[in-house]
Structure 1
Amino acid sequence: MIASLVRACRHALSNDSAIPQIRREGAGLTRSGFLRVAAAGVLSAGIAVGAGRAFAAGSSGIAPVTDLDKFYDAWQDRFNAHDIEGMVDLYVADVTYINPEGKELIGKTGVRADFEGLFAMKPQIDLHDRKHIVYHDIALTTNHWTLKLTDAAGKAQELTGGGIEVVRKESDGGWRFIIDDASRSAS
């Protein structure tokens, strides 16, 4: 905001100002000229704040999940909606992801491919027995899950399992997986 005010003041004090009401008078601006410059700076700052919020939502426009207690709710909602972009946004770029079959995948590309294949079967999941232990901006989380889907042969299936994950609070305030191991037994 200060930079916006400085630019507006410099512009207003220049000889070829585009704001005719703000005049150069000796040592500075008139009171009304200052108020116009301040209003321009506040307007500029407001635009910058809006842009900052849009940037915080990521280039995808998806708002980060900033409440750890709602993180699994968001994951479950996005999963059940088969929202691939929303799901991938919950992972850091270089995540270590272990799918339910125990296959280790590194990065969002692997996460995306795994979920795209799974979403083709129109699954629905219920995450329960959710727990997390927090240390500063990192949390160890666990859950049990029940997954219902229809396999390629058209047969309804119900699978159970558990997950143990590590999530980290990122610079935009959102929690994201840095390690997601969905291959644990639900026993």
Structure 2
Amino acid sequence: MSPVVTDPAELPMLFQDALNSGDVDALLALFAPGAGMRTVSGAHLTGPDALRAELAGTVAAHGRLTNRSRHALVAADTALLVTDWTLEVDAPDGTRIAPTGTTANIARRDADGTWRFLLLNPLGTA
């Protein structure tokens, strides 16, 4: 069951909590139908199967996300969410790395009033 998110500013923390608990289904529930994301490597993914594969890979790499919200700018049924992040993961060679960045994410309010991510861009303006 999808969470009822009535404030788009909650989405980054809900994403953080779901990732840190390893719950790929909870992560996917935060995305609107037809949503997409840009990966930290720059690839653009759309659709639930591609999103699931990307998020499951992060969980499998023992991802630990820390988000710090900067802005939630809302107009009508659209929100721009700017968030600073650090993601600790196990690299393929077994070392632990911790890339950082600033997102520029877009959320949309559904007809039932629930906010979900429409587009995730962890690389912000890069």
Same fold per superposition (TM over 0.5)? yes
Aligned residue number for residue 144 of structure 1: 84
Aligned residue number for residue 55 of structure 1: none
* Structure 1 outlier segments of 4+, above 4 Å: none
Aligned residues: 126
Deviation by residue 1:30-81 (Cα, 9 ceiling, x = unmatched)? xxxxxxxxxxxxxxxxxxxxxxxxxxxxxxx232222223222111111111
Aligned residue number for residue 183 of structure 1: 123
Name stretches of at least 5 consecutive residues in structure 1 with no aligned partner.
Answer: 1-60
Q: How much does 1:165 deviate? A: 1.0
Aligned residue number for residue 158 of structure 1: 98
Aligned Cα RMSD in Å? 1.7
Q: Structure 1 counterpart of 2:110, which letter?
A: E
Structure with more relative contact order (C-alpha pairs < 8 Å, separation 6 or more): 2
Aligned: 1:81 with 2:21: yes
In the aligned structure 2, how far is the partner of 1:180 from the partner of 1:89?
Answer: 14
Q: Which moved more, 1:65-74 or 1:102-111?
A: 65-74
Greater C-alpha Rg: 1
Q: Map of 1:104-115 to 2, 5 A cutoff? A: 104-115=44-55
Name stretches of at least 5 consecutive residues in structure 2 with no aligned partner.
Answer: none
Aligned: 1:168 with 2:108: yes
Q: How much does 1:185 deviate? A: 6.7
SS in 1 for 2:103: strand
Q: How much does 1:184 deviate? A: 3.0
In the aligned structure 2, how far is the partner of 1:103 from the partner of 1:74?
Answer: 23
In the aligned structure 2, how far is the partner of 1:129 from the partner of 1:92?
Answer: 20
Residue in structure 2 matching 1:90, options 30, 48, 52? 30
* Contact kept in structure 2, 1:92 and 1:107, CA below 8 Å: no
In the aligned structure 2, how far is the partner of 1:136 from the partner of 1:89?
Answer: 22
Q: How much does 1:171 deviate? A: 2.0
* Contact kept in structure 1, 2:86 and 2:99, CA below 8 Å: yes
Taking every aligned residue pair, what percent have the same amino acid on both sides? 26
Aligned: 1:127 with 2:67: yes
Aligned residue number for residue 4 of structure 2: 64
SS in 1 for 2:118: strand
- Normalising by structure 2, we get a TM-score of 0.90
SS in 1 for 2:98: strand
